[in-house]
Amino acid sequence: MSEHAKLIKIGNSQGIRLPKRLVSKYGLGELVILEELSDGIFLHAANKGKLSWEDTYKEMAQEEDEWSDWQELDIDQDDYL
């Protein structure tokens, strides 16, 4: 679906007004990320509570998981080879 938006003057810059339904649909807040692509600009929410791969790795490295209960599993290894 395409929509048109008019550039408006904001101080020495220009901007666009986004329809409320799009702001809500895509969870946009005060801060958004603009990615310049070869064929246009991609706009998305700055943080949806998801971690980057690097942040995810750091979070996992800090956790102290308990794996001893895996030894108690009743699995015959020959069934899976």
> How do residues 48-81 score in pLDDT, each as one tens digit?
666 678 877 777 777 776 666 666 666 666 666 6
Per the CB < 8 A criterion, the answer to whether 34 and 41 are in contact is yes
Residue 21 belongs to a domain = yes
Q: What's the per-residue H, E or C state across 30-77? A: CCEEEEEECCEEEEEECCCCCCCHHHHHHHHHHCCCCCHHHHHCCCCH
Residue 74 belongs to a domain = no
- Give the pLDDT of residue 60: 76
Residue 73 belongs to a domain = no
Residue 80 belongs to a domain = no
Residue 79 belongs to a domain = no
pTM: 0.51
Residue 51 belongs to a domain = yes
Per-residue pLDDT tens digits for 1-47:
788 889 999 999 999 999 999 898 888 888 898 999 999 999 988 87
Domain that residue 41 falls in = 8-64
Residue 78 belongs to a domain = no
In the chain, the number of structural domains is 1
